[in-house]
Amino acid sequence: MAMSAERDRSRTDYEVPLVHMRVPQRVGNTAFWLGVAGAVAAGAVELPVAALVAAGVVVMRHRSTS
């Protein structure tokens, strides 16, 4: 059972290409959303653009696979 859970977890993890390090999906998602919020707060991206990016990401992650 533990091997199956580990295998499923590694399938959803992100791998950092240059250092070949696995990052859990929850950490990767949190970093992405904090990055979007930080870009808006710093003024690098305007709020409507960030909202469109966020909506696109949500749609792509929840789209039907059939």
Number of H helices, E strands in the chain: 3, 2
Instruction: Say how far apart CA 26 and CA 2 lie, in whole Å.
Output: 20
pTM given for the model = 0.70
Q: Which of 10-14, 29-33, 46-50 has the lowest mean pLDDT?
A: 10-14
* pLDDT band with cut points at 50, 70 and 90 for residue 1: very low
Q: What is the mean pLDDT of residues 34-39?
A: 96
Per-residue pLDDT tens digits for 43-59: 999 999 999 999 999 99
* DSSP β-ladder status, 21-23 and 14-16: antiparallel
Residue 36 burial (CB count, 10 A): 17
